[in-house]
Structure 1
Amino acid sequence: MSATRSIALECGTLPARQDVALVAPVAPVPPGFRLLATRCGFINLFGPVYLHETEPVVGARVAAQHLNIQDIAHGGYLAALADSAYGIVMRRDLPDLVPRTAHLSVDYLAAVREGDWIEARVTFVKQGKRITNGTCCLTVDGRMVLQTTGVFATQRMGNGQTRARENPPRQT
């Protein structure tokens, strides 16, 4: 897969990276998914992450660095993937909204193993002026392994606004 076939999303004030190093997945990526190219440092730490071209689904292949001492996917990795999936899908499908996680409830249902392809399907249940509620279910081969509910404080972009930080970095 080449970088030109990736999907680019902005993160904060940084433009999306077009020069991401493409890591060959352990197994093929399912049809319809494209590598997510982003400068979001945290997502890049636990990636690579893929976004479905038309569906509200984020995918990832579990690698050795995602495992805990029991050789299953770390719960923090799975929760971070679900939380990130909300933001990734919202930025693509609702580009005028800037989401910030206000609450995330996570239920772990089954173990995830190295090499598993995880799909995080996002559904936005209610969208208000300042709050958006959603669900995200992680599945492996159609088997639900994690479910979340999330509440997101959203701010509309417009009138020349950009995805800038609300608070500037502290001077030390």
Structure 2
Amino acid sequence: MSTPPAGFSPFPNQGPFLEHVGPIFVKEDSADAGDDLVLGIQTEERHANHRGTVQGGLLSTFADFALGRAIEADAEDGKDRATVSLTVDFLKPARPGDWIESRTRVDRVGSTLSFADCSLCVDGKEIVRARAVWVVAS
């Protein structure tokens, strides 16, 4: 695994699945008030599909994780939430060796539903656009 860019460290408590496909990194201080949460993943050959590009399932997983962490940070209520709907548009392929960063925007955190958008970028170019609805788990 390559070293992430300066200013990134492993995201804590990712869970076994993301530790298996990741790890996911977080830009230090990006979760501070007023700053967007920026996450990253270093892709490798093990993330490739038969065409030699990064598997869409990995990109979807990364977008889902980024959306959930952004909603969680925005809500600041400690409630458990789960994905209800995830729409993913694949705009350009990623290749093994690419560093992918997420940029999220939370539209609304309600008492039961939350809505957010996410872009995944390589070298500042958007490769994936995702939108999610999350529900407060009971």
TM-score range, shorter chain: 0.7 to 0.9
Letter in 2 for 1:75: G
Q: Does 1:128 align with 2:110?
A: yes
Per-residue CA distance 1:49-72 (angstroms, 9 max, x = gap): 101221311100011111101110
Partner of 1:142: 124
Question: For residues 73 and 107 of structure 2, what CA distance do their matches in structure 1 show?
Answer: 17
- TM-score of the superposition, structure 2-length normalised? 0.86
Q: Residues 147 and 39 (structure 1 numbering): CA distance in 2 closer, same or farther, change over 3 Å? A: closer
**Higher Cα Rg, which structure:** 1
SS in 1 for 2:59: helix
Aligned length: 131
The code of the aligned residue for 1:120 comes to: S
Q: Give the secondary structure class of the aligned counterpart of 2:67.
A: helix
TM superposition shift of 1:124: 0.5
Structure number with greater CO (CA < 8 Å, separation at least 6) is 2
Q: Which runs of 5+ in 2 are unaligned?
A: 31-35
SS at match of 1:114: coil
Which secondary structure does the structure 1 equivalent of 2:4 belong to? Answer: coil
Aligned to 2:9: 34
Q: Deviations over 1:151-171 (max 9, x none)?
A: 00025xxxxxxxxxx6xxxxx
Query: For 2:70 and 2:39, how far apart are their aligned partners in 1?
Result: 8
Kept in 2: contact 1:56–1:123 (CA 8 A): no
**Using the alignment, how far apart are the partners of 1:39 and 1:56 within structure 2?**
15
- Indicate yes or no: 2:77 matched with 1:98: no
In the alignment, does 2:30 pair up with 1:48?
no
Tell me the secondary structure at the aligned position of residue 80 of structure 2.
strand
**Per-residue deviation, residues 74-122 of structure 1 (Å, max 9, x unmatched):** 0011001100112233344544232200000000000101110000111
Aligned match of 1:13: none
